[in-house]
Amino acid sequence: MRNQLHSSGCRAAAAATKQITTKFNLATHYINNKKIDLRQTLTDIKQLDLAKSYTYAEYLTWRFSEMVELIKGKVFAMSPVPSRKHQEVSALLTTQFVNLLYGTACKVFAAPFDVRFPTEGKTSPEKIQTVVQPDICVICDLSKLDERGCLGAPDLVVEILSPATSSKDLHEKYDLYEKFLVKEYWVVHPNDGTVLVYSLDEQNRYRPSKLFGVSDSILSSVIQNSEISLSRIFLD
């Protein structure tokens, strides 16, 4: 009887050890073959320390529902629920880009879609401190695409302004896109029915276009033979 009890105890201990090991394995995540313990990750956005600088590797482990972006390691919250007008303009503009780019080497992506900006050629997640989700982006160098999104600057970026994010789009993101040589940056005002296009000049500085309105069409310098009709975007 004593031997049977001892054997049962050993089996129970082994089963418990296996269960703990299984739980540990389920609580791990691998980034570039480096194991990260997900039990130490954040599950509530309120756990973020806004005074801290974060990396893309940490960003990948976050498990809260809110969408955020990183710019130079600083956390920026995204608009929780875009307006109907915002979503309509995004869908209609994306559709025009899809039609224009059909059969070309370029591709268009709409948010949510991660764009990472590495500095000094440091492309590992632990070194990247900037990852944003433009409303729309066009990428013609397809070598920049991977399973996580885009690594490097898109050729064209569109941001559709909303009250919660307009300051970030007009300041931090403007500076970011100019620094990393995004060739064209379109700023769309959905409520005003206007678009302002910033294009890089010979000194790699942004120069604004005229303010385009609903009766105008935009010819992109990035996409050949492209004409975006704003009357097909701003419907009301």
| pLDDT single digits (tens) 25-71 | 333 444 455 554 544 578 888 898 888 999 999 999 999 888 999 99
Residues 67 and 24 in one domain: yes
What end-to-end distance do the CA atoms of the chain give, in Å? 84
- Domains in the chain: how many in total? 2
Query: Would you call the peptide bond into 134 cis, given omega within 30 degrees of 0 as the criterion?
Result: no
- Per residue in 108-135, pLDDT tens? 999 999 999 999 889 999 999 999 999 9
pLDDT of residue 40: 59
The rounded percent of the chain whose pLDDT value lies above 70 is: 83
154/223 same-domain check? yes
Query: What number of CA atoms fall less than 13 Å from residue 108's CA on the CB side?
Result: 23
Q: Are residues 69 and 30 in the same domain?
A: yes
Q: What is the pLDDT of residue 187?
A: 98
Domain range enclosing 138: 84-232
- The predicted structure's pLDDT at residue 65: 85
Task: Determine the Cα angle at 205 with ends 121 and 55, to 5°.
Answer: 35
19 and 132 belong to one structural domain: no
Q: Kindly report the pTM of this predicted structure.
A: 0.82
**Whether residues 136 and 166 fall in one domain:** yes
Same-domain pairing of 149 and 205: yes
For residues 115 and 166, state if they share a domain: yes
Burial environment of residue 136 by CB neighbours within 10 A (0 to 12, 13 to 18, 19 or more):
buried
Q: Give yes or no for residue 190 having a pLDDT over 50.
A: yes
- Regarding whether 107 and 12 lie in a shared domain, the answer is no
If asked whether residues 114 and 28 sit together in one domain, one would say no
- Look at residues 77, 105, 133 and tell me which one is the last residue of a structural domain: 77
pLDDT at 179 over 90: yes
Closest CA to 132 of 121, 122, 118, 143: 118
